[in-house]
Amino acid sequence: NAGVMQNPRHLVRRRGQEARLRCSPMKGHSHVYWYRQLPEEGLKFMVYLQKENIIDESGMPKERFSAEFPKEGPSILRIQQVVRGDSAAYFCASSATSGRPYNEQFFGPGTRLTVL
């Protein structure tokens, strides 16, 4: 039973380019969460999605950032026109719809984005 998968693990972009981060949740999980972690800082919630729906995007910057979780395929976090301040580790987590107490989240290995 594969865990949460993220790719790429490392992504280098120049300022102004687009970054696309992908996340495949654990099998049977339909809730996906994206977090950002800046160096030496804690995890910051960005967005919570279920299939084809954004449930909570209160942590997403208003511009340049978007997320989707289509009916088929992985969840995508998209950052347009990247800037140096976007350099961070981006973690995806997933949780089950039911059957587990407290909706524990399981994390993927993260994508480390470096903007040159």
Partner 1 sequence: RKEVEQDPGPFNVPEGATVAFNCTYSNSASQSFFWYRQDCRKEPKLLMSVYSSGNEDGRFTAQLNRASQYISLLIRDSKLSDSATYLCVVKGNDMRFGAGTRLTVKP
Residue (63 or 104) nearer to partner 1, CB: 104
Our finding on whether 8 is near partner 1 (CB under 8 A) is no
Q: If you ran DSSP here, which 8-state letter would residue 97 be given? A: S
Our finding on whether 74 is near partner 1 (CB under 8 A) is no
Among 28, 97, 103, 116, binds partner 1 (CB under 8 A): 103
Between CA 108 and CA 95 the distance in angstroms is 12
Backbone angles phi, psi at 86, to 5 degrees: -80, -10
Our finding on whether 41 is near partner 1 (CB under 8 A) is yes
Between CA 36 and CA 67 the distance in angstroms is 13
**Where on the chain is the footprint of partner 1 (CB under 8 A)?**
33, 35, 41-45, 48, 56, 58, 89, 91, 93, 101-110
